[in-house]
Copies of this chain bind each other. A is one copy, B any other.
Amino acid sequence: MNASVIARLAHLTFSLFIATISYQAVAEEPLPSWNNTAAKKTILDYVEKVTTPGTDSFVPAEERIVTTDNDGTLWAEQPVYFQLLFALDRIKTLAADHPQWQDTEPYKSVLAGDLKQLAAGGMEGVAKIIAETHTGMSQEEFAAIVSEWLATAKHPATGKAYTAMVYQPMLELMDYFRANDFKVFIVSGGGIDFLRVFAEELYGVPPEQVVGSTLEAKFEMQNGVPTVIKQPEISLVDDKAGKPVGISRHIGRRPLVAMGNSDGDLQMLQYTTIARNKEDTLPRLGIIIHHTDAKREYAYDRNSHIGQLDKALDEAPQRGWLVIDMKDDWQQIYP
């Protein structure tokens, strides 16, 4: 077989493969957990628009970047961020080796389950808890601790495993984007190393596509073993104005689609969708998950202490952001 015959054969079989797969994709209805509302249609139309070759709105695959928030966008975030619940549980586990914690704040409040008192101590107390539970160890050691916690801990209200409190419609949406050659990145205010423990298995997002709040780290040889140790200093707070910075640092190009649920995502939505100049005409999509379902999940927005959605909700109509009403647009919440 000469090279040109091989190339033609490869092309033919590849075309047949693509045609078959495409037929299969059409045969299965996308986003089955979404109701057939305007929101679903807006998403399907958008994806068709940017993936149809030969049109003005076509976007090459390498530019199809989706950035999505995690807490309140991919999984629940009430009564408080799950990562904070992890840290509090971890303090309880470590307390056996730290008898002095019984009389020392902020540990005392945590051990007494008094979160109001912890909150009253302000950011300093929370920072101590985070430093104690998240630093002084390697990424791998931290991952093992989080893994064990995720495998056993239950949500205080639902009794479900935390990993069971992901939103089925969002799992389907990420799959749908990927099936259309989008690359999905998580861009979260949560800790980057915390997210990386479950993002690949739960969301299909590999560690290198996770952006999150980041601690400094330090390389050292420990008994001849090269180790990167997490330090108690902050490298990036990947929230609010920090999200476009995290995107710029980790991804290095502007997203085509951004998804969030709170004012913590406002600047990411702006950075993604607001045109830079008159030539900047590619259609971009901002999506806000609005928690409207007190019965199946939670209902909160402008006055919530977690996941406050106020400014971004006001700005949504003028920016053309798609606001998803969880109650009306989602047929199912959890898998």
Chain A residues near B (Cβ < 8 Å):
1, 3, 6-7, 9-10, 13-14, 16-17, 20-21, 23-24, 27-28, 62, 65, 139-140, 183, 185, 192-193, 196, 200, 206-210, 214, 217-221, 224-226, 228, 235-236, 241-245, 247-253, 267, 270-271, 274, 276-277
Q: In whole angstroms, what is the CA distance A242 to B219 when docked?
A: 7
Closest to A231 in B: B245
Contacts A217-B248, A219-B245 hold; do A226 and B10 have CB atoms under 8 A apart? no
In contact, A225 and B276 (Cβ under 8 angstroms): yes
In contact, B62 and A206 (Cβ under 8 angstroms): yes
Pick the contact of A241 from B21, B24, B209, B219 — CB < 8 Å? B219
Closest to A140 in B: B276
In contact, A17 and B13 (Cβ under 8 angstroms): yes
Q: Report A291 CB to chain B, min CB distance, Å.
A: 25
Pairs A–B under 8 Å by Cβ, sample size 25: A1-B23, A3-B24, A6-B20, A6-B24, A7-B24, A17-B17, A62-B206, A65-B208, A139-B248, A185-B208, A193-B252, A196-B252, A207-B252, A208-B208, A208-B252, A208-B253, A217-B248, A219-B241, A219-B245, A220-B241, A221-B270, A225-B274, A225-B277, A228-B247, A228-B271
Q: In whole angstroms, what is the CA distance A192 to B251 when docked?
A: 11
Pick the contact of A210 from B140, B196, B252 — CB < 8 Å? B252
In contact, A270 and B226 (Cβ under 8 angstroms): yes
Contacts A13-B17, A27-B1, A270-B226 hold; do A219 and B193 have CB atoms under 8 A apart? no
Q: Report A58 CB to chain B, min CB distance, Å.
A: 19
Q: In whole angstroms, what is the CA distance A214 to B252 when docked?
A: 12
Residue numbers in B under 8 Å from A23 (CB-CB): 1, 6
Pick the contact of A20 from B13, B218, B250 — CB < 8 Å? B13
Residue numbers in B under 8 Å from A214 (CB-CB): 249
Contacts A218-B245, A249-B235 hold; do A274 and B13 have CB atoms under 8 A apart? no
Pick the contact of A252 from B20, B192, B270 — CB < 8 Å? B192
Q: In whole angstroms, what is the CA distance A30 to B222 when docked?
A: 39
Residue numbers in B under 8 Å from A1 (CB-CB): 23, 27
Q: Report A25 CB to chain B, min CB distance, Å.
A: 10
Residue numbers in B under 8 Å from A10 (CB-CB): 17, 20-21, 24
Q: In whole angstroms, what is the CA distance A6 to B22 when docked?
A: 10
In contact, A226 and B274 (Cβ under 8 angstroms): yes
Pick the contact of A245 from B13, B24, B228 — CB < 8 Å? B228
Residue numbers in B under 8 Å from A27 (CB-CB): 1, 3, 6
Q: Report A190 CB to chain B, min CB distance, Å.
A: 14
Residue numbers in B under 8 Å from A242 (CB-CB): 219
